[in-house]
Amino acid sequence: QITLKESGPTLVKPTQTLTLTCTFSGFSLSTSGVGVGWIRQPPGKALEWLALTYWDDEKRYSASLKSRLTITKDTSKNRVVLTMTNMDPVDTATYYCARRFRYSSGWGGLDYWGQGNLVTVSS
């Protein structure tokens, strides 16, 4: 059974750095063809992709947020960490992590998601 769970603060102040952890089970980020990404969703709004890390340590970032994001993985602990600097109230959102997998037919979508971590940015 594949599960992912986000953890981190629910409230951060403007200008602070947000650190979120995705802890997963049922798969390994040391396996070829596996990736874990972060996606956020402001209240009542659309999904927005943030970053992805892959088994080979390749990383991908949203162009508009790249300067503020860092994604790292700890394969031994089955964790992926996202940091976002200089938080602003517009960054208030539910932050999700999700898995990406390469099937025999090629790369698939984000096939397993966590339940999300609502982060409010306010002083």
Partner 1 sequence: QPVLTQPPSASASLGASVTLTCTLSSGYGDYKVDWYQQRPGKGPRFVMRVGAGGIVGSKGDGIPDRFSVLGSGLNRFLTIKNIQEEDESDYHCGADHGSGSNFAWVFGGGTKLTVL
What is the binding site for partner 1 (CB under 8 A)? 37, 39, 46-49, 52, 60, 62-63, 94, 96, 98, 103, 105-116
Q: Which is nearer to partner 1, 5 or 123 (CB)?
A: 5
Calpha distance 95→7 (Å, rounded): 9
Calpha distance 96→116 (Å, rounded): 4
Q: How far is the CB of 59 from partner 1 (least distance, A)?
A: 10
Q: Which is nearer to partner 1, 63 or 90 (CB)?
A: 63
Q: Which is nearer to partner 1, 5 or 16 (CB)?
A: 5
